[in-house]
Amino acid sequence: MTDSTSHVRDNPRTRPAKAPLSRQAVLAAALALVDEVGYAAVTMRRVAQALDTGPASLYVYVADRDELMAGVYDLALAAVELPGPADGDWRARLELLVSRLIATLGGHDDIALVAITRVPTGPQTLRILEETLTLLRAGGIDDAACPWAADLLDQYVTSSALELAARLRDQRAVTKAEGAAEATEEAMSRAARSELDAVYGELPAATHPTIHALRPAMTTAGRTSNTSAAWKLGVIIDGLLAHHPQP
Amino acid sequence: MTDSTSHVRDNPRTRPAKAPLSRQAVLAAALALVDEVGYAAVTMRRVAQALDTGPASLYVYVADRDELMAGVYDLALAAVELPGPADGDWRARLELLVSRLIATLGGHDDIALVAITRVPTGPQTLRILEETLTLLRAGGIDDAACPWAADLLDQYVTSSALELAARLRDQRAVTKAEGAAEATEEAMSRAARSELDAVYGELPAATHPTIHALRPAMTTAGRTSNTSAAWKLGVIIDGLLAHHPQP
DNA sequence: ACCTGAACACCGTTCAAGT
DNA sequence: ACCTGAACACCGTTCAAGT
């Protein structure tokens, strides 16, 4: 559709007043593209195109694609509101913060991949780290253990966000494929899960007795439901409270 | 160096008896390349080159790059030995299994990225899942919770392997940069950590009081040391034992 | 001084044409 | 029947040449 109107958009007279390029504009355009075409498909060329310029122009504002994506990651985190006193004690607030982080990051496709390649250090990341450490301390976690605990929670957030993003991707693919008629959760349960169910379900008891025995549990509940997410986070926090390594 | 001898290697008479192509040969060549040039730099063209053929020939044995890497991932897991009765009770065995998984995957650069994009279902993956579930059951974890617990452990393994891979990459870069004279652990502590230390260390108490207060803990111990890995795994297992969600 | 067109050195994947 | 050369449609990044 861009082609049919390109000579109109290219015309300086009809072009929508093209705001001057800036780092913020580049990051915002890239984040919008992540949502539209997916993380992997966001190329320097496509970002440039969205900004009505050439790819070379982006390098005035970002060092390379990696650094651009790190900026997008931090920009996405700006939408995460910190829980307040009204949200309960430290544990309730920490659980709320973590679930907001997973929902926000997972809502921008695979943007959480940024946190896997490098340790993010943007202002929004630091804002959330500060809050996480504060809540952990309020929970009585040893000062020496707090950074490790925050790191563990971060690993959990990142991998959960990527799992959520994959789930949403599957969901979109299915609803798009089948005329978008059925409920979203229902649609997903057959598509993405059916192949995995087939793998686990057909393993013979002779070679994989435990997987075979747990077959109903492995399929019914779903590996990445909302209840499993809450359960996992509960495990980690209970573990933080229970774990006292031999001194 | 390939150039100087290319006309010799290209000569069928001097070429080392080029084994016939097979899926196993392709996977093995790709795994060797992952170790040599890194996960991101393993291209279809480079794998083909290592096998003295063209990239198109690979598509007889693998569907695409993603599926090739999934095969490499499973191949890498073949080296993981399952703990036996001599290794202690279920918990000791589970801890040993997890640390072997992290060490093995992390030793092949970013190969663990495979487990983030898709849920691996290769034979080696299933062998290890079977053992993990067996150990969890032996530990008294509820049948219904075992798949979730295994999933949580898998998230921990994957992200820890990627952290380890990043640490080893930094280490190699530093030791290579400075004449390879000093001890490896020592070399790393200044390079990869110093920039992160700078970020945390220079945050003012006014805006980030907790990070500021915990500054010594965040730098001294290191975010990804062996002790922190053991601590984190201990937290998760203690959490699995302590967590009993409201019924 | 700032911007960018064009080029460089790559990619994954396909398929017609060969053996 | 099997294999692959050559081509297609892309990449990220650089830099000389323009304004």
Shortest Cα–Cα distance, B41 to chain A (Å): 15
For residue B173, list chain A residues with Cβ-Cβ distance below 8 A.
none
- Cα-Cα-Cα-Cα torsion A45, A46, A50, A56, nearest 10 degrees, comes to -10
From CA B156, how far away is CA B239, in angstroms rounded? 13
Q: Exposed/middle/buried for A84, CB within 10 Å: 0-12, 13-18, 19+?
A: exposed
**CB of A12 nearer than 7 A to strand C:** no
The amino acid at residue A139 is G
Q: Do residue B235 and residue A234 have CB atoms under 8 angstroms apart? A: no
From CA A74, how far away is CA A69, in angstroms rounded? 9
Per-residue pLDDT of chain A (247 residues; tens, 9 = 90+): 333 333 333 333 334 445 678 999 999 999 999 999 999 999 999 999 999 999 999 999 999 999 999 999 999 999 999 999 999 999 999 999 999 999 999 999 999 999 998 999 999 999 999 999 999 999 999 999 999 999 999 999 999 999 999 999 988 877 766 654 444 555 554 555 678 888 999 999 999 999 999 998 887 556 667 789 999 999 999 999 998 776 5
Shortest Cα–Cα distance, B86 to chain A (Å): 21
State residue A105's pLDDT score. 98
Q: Exposed/middle/buried for B71, CB within 10 Å: 0-12, 13-18, 19+?
A: buried
Query: Which one of A211, A232, A245 has the shortest CB-CB distance to B129?
Result: A211
Q: Do residue B147 and residue A214 have CB atoms under 8 angstroms apart? A: yes
Give ∠ CA A169-A172-A174 in degrees, rounded to 5: 110
From CA A234, how far away is CA A236, in angstroms rounded? 5
Q: Both tokens of residue B192?
A: 């990869």
CA distances to A115, A121, A165 from B189, in Å: 21, 18, 34
Shortest Cα–Cα distance, A86 to chain B (Å): 21
State residue B178's pLDDT score. 62
From CA A149, how far away is CA A131, in angstroms rounded? 13
Q: Where residue B176 falls among pLDDT bands split at 50, 70, 90? A: low
Q: Which residue of A has its CA nearest to B227?
A: A148
Give first-to-last CA distance, chain B, whole Å.
66
Between the CA of B53 and the C1' of D1, what is the distance in angstroms? 19
State residue B230's pLDDT score. 94
**CB of A59 nearer than 7 A to strand C:** yes
From CA B84, how far away is CA A211, in angstroms rounded? 19
Rank A178-182, B22-26, B190-194 by mean pLDDT and report only the highest: B22-26
Shortest Cα–Cα distance, B235 to chain A (Å): 5
Measured from the Cβ of residue B234, the count of other Cβ atoms closer than 10 Å reads 18
Q: Do residue B155 and residue A152 have CB atoms under 8 angstroms apart? A: no
Q: Both tokens of residue B220?
A: 């001294």
State residue B17's pLDDT score. 43
Q: Do residue A145 and residue B231 have CB atoms under 8 angstroms apart? A: yes
Measured from the Cβ of residue A25, the count of other Cβ atoms closer than 10 Å reads 15
Residue A42: nearest nucleotide (C-alpha to C1'): D11
Residue A53: nearest nucleotide (C-alpha to C1'): C4
Q: Exposed/middle/buried for A4, CB within 10 Å: 0-12, 13-18, 19+?
A: exposed
Q: Please give the backbone phi and psi of residue A64, each rounded to the nearest 5 degrees, phi first.
A: -165, -175
Q: Do residue B147 and residue A210 have CB atoms under 8 angstroms apart? A: no
Q: Please enumerate in sequence order all residues whose Cβ is within 8 A of that of A42, keeping only pairs 6 or more positions apart, or say none.
A: A30, A33, A34, A69
pLDDT exceeds cutoff 50 at B145? yes
Return mean pLDDT, chain B: 86
Q: To which H or E segment does residue B101 belong?
A: helix B90-106
What is the set of domains in chain B, with CATH numbers?
A: 6-62 (1.10.10.60), 85-242 (1.10.357.10)
From CA B237, how far away is CA B135, in angstroms rounded? 12
Q: Please enumerate in sequence order all residues whose Cβ is within 8 A of that of A241, keeping only pairs 6 or more positions apart, or say none.
A: A139, A140, B242
Q: By the 8 A CB rule, do A62 and A23 touch?
A: yes
Residue A52: nearest nucleotide (C-alpha to C1'): C4
Between the CA of B37 and the C1' of D11, what is the distance in angstroms? 20
Q: Please enumerate in sequence order all residues whose Cβ is within 8 A of that of A91, keeping only pairs 6 or more positions apart, or say none.
A: A139, A237
From CA A28, how far away is CA B233, in angstroms rounded? 38
State residue A242's pLDDT score. 95
State residue B219's pLDDT score. 73
State residue A8's pLDDT score. 38
From CA A120, how far away is CA A132, in angstroms rounded? 15
For residue A242, list chain B residues with Cβ-Cβ distance below 8 A.
238-239, 241-242
- Using a 7 Å CB cut-off, which residues contact strand D? A 41, 43-46, 55-56, 59, 64-66; B 20-21, 53-57, 59-60
The candidate with the shortest Cα–Cα distance to A226, out of A98, A132, A34, A92, is: A98
Query: Which one of B130, B149, B209 has the shortest CB-CB distance to A211?
Result: B130
Q: By the 8 A CB rule, do B152 and B94 touch?
A: no
Q: By the 8 A CB rule, do B173 and B127 touch?
A: no
Q: Do residue B159 and residue A159 have CB atoms under 8 angstroms apart? A: yes
Q: Please enumerate in sequence order all residues whose Cβ is within 8 A of that of A43, keeping only pairs 6 or more positions apart, or say none.
A: A65
The pLDDT > 70 percentage for chain B reads 82
pLDDT exceeds cutoff 70 at B215? yes
Measured from the Cβ of residue B244, the count of other Cβ atoms closer than 10 Å reads 10
pLDDT exceeds cutoff 50 at B62? yes
What is residue B143's three-state secondary structure? coil
Q: Where residue B223 falls among pLDDT bands split at 50, 70, 90? A: low
State residue B63's pLDDT score. 96
